Chain A
Amino acid sequence: MDFRLTPEAQEFYDEVCAFFDEHLDAETIAREERTGDGFDRAFHEALAERGWVAADWPKKFGGQERDAHEMYVLDQEFLRRGCPRNTSVTTGLVGNTLRVVGTERQKRELLPGIASGRIVISLGYSEPQAGSDVAAAQTRARREGDHWRIDGQKMFTTGAHLTDYIFLLARSDASGGKRDGLTMFLVPTDSEGFEAQAVPTLGGERTNLSFYSGVRVPDWLRVGEVDGGWDVMKVALSLEQGVGFSGSAETLHRRALEWAERAGRLDDPLVRERLARTALNAEVGKLLEQRAVWMTAEGRPMRAEGPMCKLFTSEALIEDAGSLLDMLGPDALESGGGPTSPAAAAVEFFQRYAQGTAIYAGTSEIMRSLIAEQGLGLPRSRSG
């Protein structure tokens, strides 16, 4: 039993910190706060230059064969520093899915582009009528010779205004069961008939509505079998398991502590207890995440351990950010100027941002159902 980072991850951590110190400047963070893009091309390219966009991949695809422990260290630093991250995450996810289910041509033509930072990809799963019940997607895909014609609309296509492809879940056959007639594609965003429209959010992140009217996609960009999209989704969704937000919780704690120190309130028992609770939850969240990382690295089969990370860290973040905003008292409303205002503004930001963490990548209700089914052996509660 050992709770330290592995020696390799520790070494990597030091490199990662030095890299962020050098490349993540105040301007990049300020731009992210202004635009909510979740992506900064210059930073992403610098990351690619270091070989860290796909650091876990085999060398032949431009990776460094880093293990799960090292990948965790890198991702954790994105969260801790509030670095634009969404598109890096979605791109990595699609790349990893292609590594499992992609054709030789897809691997050859796309993976090196992803690893070198040239190609970035968004997830196009959710639709206006199909969110948690993602298999109910209605966006249509019709075969037309060696092409497919896509018509429909996606919701919450984060990054779609900047990315090169949408990893799209579409219905190729509406006659059978919900999960039977789905097919997945990589839709180039420079296609005619594609459009992305901004959806601003409470956390400042920009996401999008995306529209597909008669978009033509060549068959080689189909991922997986025709009508076999659900099998691809299972792979893609399983790769999302184990995400958590303890890095955000650490930063929330640090900023709130900074407020307490500057405001001279660190002797107030109520303030102390609220801060200590956040530190405790951040530690529990980190441990749950590290367990999932360790199990992944060791190839141990996971049951409920992945969803537990997502559920605990997002729910705790909501609870703690709310508690710490209350802790600020009237300072919470101080928007500009004053010695405590940057730290207060950070806590206020987290209180909004936290709400999204319990929604995207599977809501807390879906996580609880997965834990109940896979961890406790309870019957499925979602029909259809």
Chain B
Amino acid sequence: MDLALSEEQELIRETFAGFFSNESSLELVRECEPLGFSADLWKKFAETGALGMGVPESLGGGGTGLIEMALVAEECGRQLAPVPFVESAVAARLLARLEAPDALEAALEDAAPLALALRLVDDSPGQRIPAGAVAGSVLALRGGALVRVSRPPGWEPDCPKNHGSAPIASWPLAEAPGEVLAEGERARAEFDTAVEEWKLLTAAALVGLGRESVRLGAEYAKGREQFGAPIGSYQGIAHPLADCATAVDGAQLLVWEAVWAREDEPERAPALASMAFAFAAESAARAATVSLHTHGGYGFSLEYDVQLYFRRARAWPLVWDDPRRELQRLADRLYGPSRS
């Protein structure tokens, strides 16, 4: 066991912690509601090269692994940055794996984000696509083929407002023309990999969200006094925060392990990914709930920032599914599919 980040990894983490702290203030996050997207921030973010960071250097990317991307996703989540980093970066990697250099180049140069439809188009033609509201193109598995569907000129997606300000939208995926990138088993395998990566990076973002929720709660508990003492000196306040801090640390370790296992212990990787997603979702939701309650009535008011975290904590994983269903998927991965 060695949990040390390499110098390069530390640098990436620090760089993006700084970037999001400076560029993605919570005022900006508020201004971008309800859509949950800042075109301005996206432009600055794209200039850092983060969008293609996980793409091989030979294809014009940054050549990092998924773990570095998880560090960025965590910082993104910590500051609730209104940019679809996870979706775009995962889709860019998919294009790279599919050896679709033209599509990739266009995507990396294009100003608009990329998105990935997480479910099969045949089963869910009207699915809400994460980042679909702001994406320039969507990658989807349709009729056994991986296709890239570009946003039709002049067409505006239907974007449901939602409590998490997640820029989701439905696209006419079933009928829109699409460029076929891969077919058959390969298409399916690469699609599955992309969905796994999306889940892992979303889990990383939830770790950031959860950690910042705990921090906000702890800071408030140090400053707020009632009955002549800081409320943080009351165990009814301190102990739930300690539970959340523990769970968020556990979630971070689990995400890292799940990412690491993809290369180094592939036989355990699927189960670990499901564990990471379910546990990060749960831990973030609990942290945001506890932190809100720590703030008393002020946490319930819209003025305090904790509500921004609270609303997103459950929304982000729900773009995929009920976290408890991920536990059922975990069981399939651990014990084999149920025969009933």
Contact = CB atoms under 8 A, between A and B. Distances in A.
Contacts of B327: 273, 276-277, 280
Nearest to B232: A378
Contacts of A199: none
Contacts of B324: 273
Contacts of A275: 331, 334-335
Q: Is the interface of B mostly helix, strand, loop or mixed?
A: helix
A279 interface: yes
Interface in B86-104: none
A369 B324 CA distance: 30
Interface in A1-58: 1-6
Interface stretch (A161-169, A175-183, A216-224, A284-292): A284-292
B1 interface: yes
Contacts of B292: none
A371 B245 contact: yes
A1 B330 contact: no
A371 B261 contact: no
Contacts of A284: 250-251, 253-254, 275, 279
Given A3-B260, A372-B238, A376-B241, A280 B279 contact: yes
Interface in A312-342: 312, 315
Interface stretch (A75-83, A226-234, A264-272, A350-358): A264-272
Interface string B241-269: 11101110111011011001100110000
B70 to A, nearest CB: 10
Interface string B221-235: 110000001101111
Contact of A69 (B1, B241, B260, B331): B1
A349 interface: no
Contacts of B257: 3, 283, 287
User: Quick one: which of A272, A288, A376 has the most chain B CB within 10 A?
Assistant: A376
A279 B330 contact: yes
B338 A2 contact: no
Interface residues of B, number: 53
Given A69-B1, A272-B338, A293-B1, A376 B245 contact: yes
Interface stretch (B2-10, B150-158, B301-309): B2-10
B246 to A, nearest CB: 4
A379 B233 contact: yes
A380 interface: yes
B238 A369 contact: yes
B235 A368 contact: yes
Interface string B309-335: 000000000000000100110111011
A375 interface: yes
A298 B245 CA distance: 23
A378 B218 contact: yes
B214 interface: yes
Contacts of B249: 288, 291, 305, 308
Contacts of B340: 267-269
20 contacts: A1-B67, A2-B260, A4-B1, A257-B335, A267-B340, A279-B275, A279-B334, A284-B254, A287-B254, A294-B1, A304-B246, A367-B242, A368-B238, A369-B235, A372-B239, A376-B241, A377-B218, A379-B222, A379-B229, A379-B232
Interface of A: 1-6, 69, 257, 266-269, 272-273, 275-277, 279-280, 283-285, 287-288, 290-291, 293-294, 298, 304-305, 308, 311-312, 315, 365, 367-369, 371-372, 375-381
Q: Which 6 A-B pairs have the closest CB atoms?
A: A272-B331, A371-B242, A378-B232, A372-B238, A287-B253, A284-B250
